Structure 1
Amino acid sequence: MLDENDLSREDAAPIDMIENYYAAHGWDHQRHDDEVVATVKGSWTQYELRALWREEDSVLQFLAFPDIRVTDDERRAAIYEAIGLINEQLWIGHFELWSSSGIVLYRHAAMIDGTDGGTLSLEGAELLIESAIDECERFYPVFQFVLWGGKSPKEALAASMTETQGEA
């Protein structure tokens, strides 16, 4: 967890705060106008994190790509079902499957109040980024069980949600 001393300001324009957060973590990232993209290594895979700021709508859209592509048309229906079951578990954000490319992603949008200058706090950036990574980490096994493990979406969700107790 970052401390506000790690960043130059307590709040900033949303895309600037996201970029500062990436930089403070030492994550490889690139900035293009109102978009910033980072690459982060997770427990299961490498994630591409993409933040896009739409000033005219005061919306910060955050996307996390967990490096899952559905290339087998026969598995698409099962992945759509798995996404539906997963999304029932989420309070914010959602998973989706892009029909044209077969890419699975996590998406969340945050409305940024323009009355305070349209800024994002460190806590807001941290919540947005870390919750996206946490959800991708939590549900990555579901997609793997469905795509490569031959499990039904319900079996995959049940298997991935089993919590281990103790140590081996």
Structure 2
Amino acid sequence: MSEEQVTEERDDGAPIEVLEQYFEARGWACERTGEGEIVASATGSWAQYELRGVWRPEDQVLQFLAFPDIKVAAEKRSAIFEALSLINEQLWLGHFEMWSGSGLVVFRHSTILDAREDEGLSLEQAEAIAEAAVEECERFYPVFQFVLWGGKAPGEAIAAALIDTHGEA
């Protein structure tokens, strides 16, 4: 691919447009909910994930969120906070958090894109951001379920969920 083609690809529009192209290429239902926001739905092996991209041009920041459809009741929040802490120690990109008002668990990652340098969001970056979010939600979804429904302590839940299997059953 020539340098001119790469520049054209990056000039396709704002990051939300690039995310929209990526979501459509994956066959994920998506819709724009505002000028700088898009929402998509991705099916994982554990849950249906809501993916949300929010562009803040004044800060040149793209925030990417993935909601794994987990809502935490008040009596389980301290255990989930401990699980979040243990999970986040293992992440290289993004982090999980729980929103205090609603109890929703969310994976969040922000990226600074310098449009002044003509370095918008490429399709490859959109793919990396979205795939990382879905992969981390898939990897840690069982931890939340073990704590919320299985009655396991956060450390036990992580140990149980992250067992590497070898071979086939």
Per the normalisation by structure 2, the TM-score is 0.91
Provide the identity percentage.
60
Contact 1:14 1:118 in 2 (8 A): no
Q: How far apart, CA to CA, are the structure 2 residues paired with 1:157 and 1:64? A: 20
Q: How far apart, CA to CA, are the structure 1 residues paired with 2:167 and 2:84? A: 30
Q: How does 1:14-163 map to 2 (within 5 A)?
A: 14-31=15-32, 32-71=34-73, 73-163=74-164
Runs of 4+ in structure 1 deviating by more than 3 angstroms, as ranges, are: none
Contact 1:58 1:118 in 2 (8 A): no
More divergent stretch after superposition (156-165 vs 111-120): 111-120
SS in 2 for 1:82: helix
Counterpart code for 1:161:
L
Counterpart code for 2:51:
L
Give the alignment's Cα RMSD to 1 decimal. Answer: 1.0
Per the normalisation by structure 1, the TM-score is 0.92
Q: How far apart, CA to CA, are the structure 2 residues paired with 1:161 and 1:148? A: 17
Structure 2, gaps ≥5 residues long: 1-7
Q: Shift of the alpha carbon at 1:118?
A: 4.8
Q: Shift of the alpha carbon at 1:115?
A: 2.7
